[in-house]
Structure 1
Amino acid sequence: MKTDNKPWFWIPLLNFASGLPYAIIISVSVIMYKDLGVSNKDIGLWTSLLYLPWVIKPLWSPLIELIGTKRDWFITMQLAISIFFLIVGFAIPTNGFLYTTLALFWVAAFASASNDIASDGFYLLVLPEDKQSFFIGIRSTFYRLSMLAGNGLVVLFAGNLEEKYGDNTKAWSYTMIGVGLLMTFITIYNFIFTPKNEINTVENKKVVHNQSFGSVFVSFFKKKQIVLILSFILLFRLGESQLIKMLTPFLIDPLRYELVEKGTDDNQAKALELYNSKVIKGEKLSESELQLLYSKLPILVQMRDEGKLLEEVENKDKIEYEKANKARINFVNELIASKGVQKDIQVGGMGLTTKTIGIIYGTCGLIALTLGGILGGIAISKQGLTKWMLPMILTMHLPIIGFILLAYFHPSSIYYIYAVVIIEQFGYGFGFAAFMMYLIHVAEGESKTAHYALATGFMAMGMMLPGMVSGYIQEYLGYGNFFIWVLLATIPGLILSRFLTFPKDFGKKSEEV
């Protein structure tokens, strides 16, 4: 069969295979580490560093042009990703899991970035421009669907296991093993259904062989408006890069911590007695008294639908103990600083369970994103990118206002959260199609695969650097002000987009097709 006449058979799962590893490594890892007790600062820093393989992937993208076929590359890389996710699952219950799993995610990220290069190049070679514009919406939709499958279905699966076992470590271990098996199935599907022959592959290789390794990069930086192009790519996702890192902690963090006035055992009673006799009088505490408060003072975590005692996490190592019990220690320090006056410490999160987050993103969010992505691709193919660039950018970024409202007003009904997620996901699906179509325009010319990899590498850099500091910014500003900052961070990309030049009807489907 022809390689370009059955795109519905291979485009969805091929792009799902690009998006799912990215979702697990960049997004789902945030939820996993949050559930396993890692702080917002560490989450923002370490999970953002996992972007680095996507940033530097242009360095080896010409090799994918020269060695083997795109299809060989993405099948091999998808198999490697499957294996590394399986190993992550077995590594989670071990001591020092944080750095072990980060290292495994790091290697899987290199495989995933290589898979992206090969998959993108395969898409650009197999489909003509008019079909590229139509399927860009489908492509970005299934890419984003994989993100929601991670943030929705995978998280929901983990949440159910948390409820079943009462053990977050075991739940996430089983979940990651399941993800590895799912990636194995997808790899087998893509091996069977993706076209075996790549149109223009021979011709493309001749072009690349006639160029030096360095000339592939030089030709990219000689493109018209290259400074403006790179500035736009780097800044377009400035707000999103920070939002995606701190949105899950915002949804999971409790509404507040409260001091419980009555202990359930002798140690808690002693801690409360110490609080009433010394803390509220402002008296100096000894090291042993301070440790008693840190470990035994009864503290209630007020979530959205319930309150539960904040348990102490026992650990003999002082540094690890302080990390694991950061919430308890911070609460006690607040009490001591205020001489016991501040018994209710606001955190500002939405207090949702992991399972609830999975349900929200895995149902309504999934449907909204699908509709938005499909409509975005159709709109561009009907009327071209020029007409839709600004409306799509606004549709993508303005829903951040919904998170600002949630952070400040904390509505009692969970349906407000559903509404915000639905609007945000539809806007993202609809708007991101324009950005991806513009990257295709940037890659036009010789060495499409390498140039597209360069463009997406700069895009990843624009996600990595702001994401690394997002946890620090959030803890300094608080959630409400942080989301305002995120909204303001979208303005530079919006302004730069007005100065970009590209063919008026770029992406518009030809009338004769």
Structure 2
Amino acid sequence: MKTDNKPWFWIPLLNFASGFPYIIITSVSVLMYKKLGINNEDIGVWTSLLTLPWVFKPLWSPFIDLHGTKRKWFLGMQMFISIAFFIVGLILPLNYFFYLSLSIFCMAAFASASNDVATDGFYLLALKKEEQSLFLGIRNTCYRLAMITGSGLIVLLAGNLEHQYGDNNKAWSYTMIVVGLIMSIITAYNFFSTPKIEENTIETKTADDKKNFVTVFVSFFKKKQIGLILVFILVFRLGESQLLKMLTPFLVDPIKYELVESVANKNEENALKLFSTKVKSGDQLTASELQLLYSSLPIQSVGRDSKKPLKEIIEKNEVEYNKANKPRIDFINHLVEHKGSSTEIEQNGMGLETEDVGLIYGTFGLIALLAGGILGGIAISKQGLTKWFLPMILAMHLPILGFVLLAHFHPASIYYIYAVVILEQFGYGFGFASFMMFLIYVAEGESKTSHYSIATGFMALGMMLPGMLSGYIQQYLGYGNFFIWVFIATIPGIIISRFLIFPKDYGKKTEEV
């Protein structure tokens, strides 16, 4: 194996190519579907299921580990992902775009998970152990830079296109095509920049090299403290997994809904009369009267700098009708319950536009992330993982309290949102470096590529299951109480981390003599 490579030339964009499709598939899709009219419950379930390939990637990671070179694998998978994004862009303007695009995203997710396996293996093979901790911060920062590019610049592009065309489906269609183009360019760069470090191919591997799947898989579960380690991996991101799914809806959901005094037609006039008489009097409504309110009561959504009519969406199927009109129906049900008093109704989101979200995450959030990631890697390489494990975990989780405050107080100034996002991004960049270093420790030994993918597979499982329930939990608790619950959900991981045993100076760069 050749080791005379220049990591600074290939590590940044190779890890960018892992983070970019992941954030588009699992996170940006949340905002996209939200802006295309999909409700929080469906968003939580289906976008969480898109993480399933990262859960099961250990099942095929030995195949990648034992057949061909890591370089061939990640280049092939990156090209497949590029094509998939182009196809999603063509699908979004069509009817039934939701399930069609989900199916393409699912295939892209399998390719992205395979790309991660090959990329992780390439990283472990190409760098010496003392280099791994030094470049871990750079690697994680570039990975997160890709994620911020997706949730920042790509979202900013989508927001501008929404305003330009006045058609969210068209705007997001063009956005996904741009994503496919970016991914194609990155793939081409990685083709020319990554070194050919693996000399052994499937034809030249010995019988000892070609370990069977069972041996590789079972050896992982023989590691010291493996039971406690797996519990820690599963619960460490219990809070974060729910936060990531509902944070974007929280930011873009209207601050509140309110009645409109003027009417556009006879049905709206009748609905307002019904509201002023029977609803405010607390009288029992018939099914037809309630349906009149659902369909015709004039309501507008109030954002931070805008007010928009909340129109009824016509659907033939009753279930789909209720899903599509859920904001209207929920608001009217609350009005009926509180005899027309909207002051009793809890405020909802922060009322940001799509481009506001992209701007916040693509500017100061990006700077905070880069600073946190670089400092995290440097801290571990200088003093080891043991010293920084708990402080980094706390730095990652404590900023959730900022979203608790936002949800309860809804400050008028957008700068409070900037402050919370900056703290959250810095804490994530700084703290997540410790978790990834711990996973590298867990993967130590033979078949490190497969064992690392098994560990990250359990991490993905710990993200997927809570994420699937996040929409239902948020709808039940409301945003304010939901973020309190998210913070409480971080406590088990913090407690378990104190019982994990690993070398005191693990990750510390050795001094050269």
For normalisation by structure 1, the TM-score amounts to 0.96
8 Å contact from structure 1 (residues 20, 147) kept in 2: yes
Alignment-derived partner of residue 10 in structure 2: 10
Q: Which amino acid aligns with 2:53?
A: P
Q: Does 1:330 align with 2:330?
A: yes
Whole-Å separation in 2 of the counterparts to 1:238 and 1:435: 14
2:30 and 2:248 in contact (8 A); partners too:
yes
Distance 1:85 1:345 in 2: 40
Q: 1:219 is matched with which residue?
A: 219
What residue identity is the alignment partner of 1:353? Answer: E
Residue 344 of structure 1 and its aligned partner are, at CA, apart by 6.8
What is the 5 A alignment of 1:297-316?
297-316=297-316
Which residue type is aligned with residue 271 of structure 2?
A
Contact 2:31 / 2:248 at 8 angstroms: preserved in 1?
Answer: yes
> Which residue of structure 2 lines up, in the alignment, with residue 90 of structure 1?
90
Amino acid at match of 1:81: I
Contact 2:66–2:202, Cα closer than 8 Å, also in 1: no
Distance 1:208 1:226 in 2: 25
* DSSP-derived class of the 1:264 partner: coil
**Which one-letter code corresponds to 1:449 in the other structure?**
T
Which whole-Å CA distance do the structure 2 matches of 1:165 and 1:207 have between them?
A: 60
**TM superposition outliers: structure 1 runs of 4+ over 6 Å:** 199-204
Q: Which residues of structure 1 form unaligned runs of 5+?
A: none
Structure 1 residues 450 and 247, CA, compared in 2 at 3 Å: closer, same or farther? same
Equivalent residue letter for 2:447: S
1:66 aligned partner, one-letter code: L
Shift of 1:482: 1.1
Contact 1:255 1:351 in 2 (8 A): yes
Return the alpha-carbon distance in structure 1 between the equivalents of residues 150 and 208 of structure 2. Answer: 37
1:186 aligns with 2:186: yes
Identify the residue that residue 195 of structure 2 maps to in structure 1.
195
Secondary structure, aligned partner of 2:224? coil
Are residues 340 and 63 of structure 1, via their aligned partners in 2, closer, same or farther at CA, if it must alter by over 3 Å? Answer: same
Residues 189-221 of structure 1 deviation map (CA, whole Å, 9 limit, x = unaligned): 111111122378899954863532200011110
Are the structure 2 counterparts of residues 235 and 199 from structure 1 closer, same or farther at C-alpha, using a change threshold of 3 Å?
farther
Cα deviation 1:209-245 (Å, max 9, x = unaligned): 3532200011110001111111111111111111101
Which residue in 2 is equivalent to 1:435?
Answer: 435
User: Residues of 2 paired with 1:7 and 1:158: CA distance?
Assistant: 33
CA contact 1:382–1:509 (8 Å) conserved in 2: yes
The alpha-carbon deviation at position 295 of structure 1 amounts to: 2.1
Separation (CA, whole Å) in 2 of partners of 1:493 and 1:203: 44
Find the aligned partners of 1:465 and 1:359 in 2 and give their Cα distance. Answer: 30
Q: Give me the whole-angstrom Cα distance separating, in 1, the residues matched to 2:32 and 2:348.
A: 20
Which secondary structure does the structure 2 equivalent of 1:278 belong to? helix
- How many Å separate the matches in 2 of 1:250 and 1:434? 28
CA distance in 2, matches of 1:285, 1:139: 60
SS at match of 1:467: helix
Instruction: Provide the rounded CA distance (Å) in 1 between the counterparts of 2:4 and 2:310.
Output: 57
One-letter identity of the residue aligned with 1:187: T
Is 2:28–2:151's contact at 8 Å kept on the other side of the alignment?
yes
Cα distance between partner residues in 2 of 1:205 and 1:240: 41
Structure 2 CA distance for partners of 1:207 and 1:359, relative to 1, 3 Å: farther
Number of the residue aligned with 2:175:
175
Letter in 2 for 1:171: A
Report the equivalent of 1:447.
Answer: 447
Taking the aligned partners of 2:224 and 2:69, their CA distance within structure 1 comes to: 30
Q: Counterpart of 1:460?
A: 460
Residue in 1 aligned with 2:255? 255
d(CA) in 2 for partners of 1:342, 1:112: 46
Contact 1:65 1:208 in 2 (8 A): no
Q: Give 1:141-180 correspondences, 5 Å limit.
A: 141-180=141-180
3-state DSSP of counterpart to 1:258: strand
Equivalent residue number for residue 99 of structure 1? 99
- Secondary structure in 2 aligned to 1:300? strand
Whole-Å separation in 1 of the counterparts to 2:492 and 2:81: 35
Q: Distance in 2 between matches of 1:494 and 1:199?
A: 42
The root-mean-square deviation of aligned C-alpha atoms, in Å, is: 2.0
Q: Residues of 2 paired with 1:164 and 1:344: CA distance?
A: 37
User: Is the Cα contact below 8 Å between 2:2 and 2:198 reproduced in 1?
Assistant: no
Paired with 1:390 and 1:205, the residues of 2 have a C-alpha distance of: 42
Comparing 104-113 and 320-329, the one that deviates more: 320-329
Structure 1 residues 201, 240: closer, same or farther in 2, change over 3 A? farther
Which ranges in structure 2 are unaligned for 5 or more consecutive residues?
none
CA distance in structure 2 between the aligned counterparts of 1:511 and 1:204, rounded to whole angstroms: 37
Identity, in percent, stands at 69
Amino acid at match of 1:426: F
State the one-letter code of the partner of 1:248.
Answer: T
Report how far residue 335 of structure 1 moved: 2.4
Number of residue pairs matched? 513
- How many Å separate the matches in 2 of 1:245 and 1:6? 37
Deviations 1:162-187 (A, max 9, x none): 11111111111111111111111111
1:34 is matched with which residue? 34
Matching residue of 1:236: 236
Equivalent residue number for residue 66 of structure 1: 66
- Which residue identity is paired with 1:350? M
Cα gap change, 1:382 to 1:203, in 2 (>3 Å): farther
Contact 1:4–1:127 (CA<8 Å) still a contact in 2? no
C-alpha distance after superposition, 1:236-293 (max 9, x if no partner): 1111111101111111111111112221344322321232243334445455443332
Q: Which residue of 1 aligns with 2:355?
A: 355
Matched residue, 1:130 = 130
Task: Quote the offset at 1:84 in angstroms.
Answer: 0.9
Q: Is the 8 A contact 1:65 1:450 kept in 2?
A: yes
Contact residue 155 and residue 358 of structure 1 kept, 8 A: yes
Q: CA deviation at 1:472?
A: 1.1
In structure 1, how many angstroms separate the alpha carbons of the residues matched to 2:371 and 2:253?
A: 30
TM-score by length of 2: 0.96
Greater alpha carbon shift after TM alignment, 445-454 vs 196-205: 196-205
On the 8 A contact 1:335/1:343 being kept in 2, the answer is no
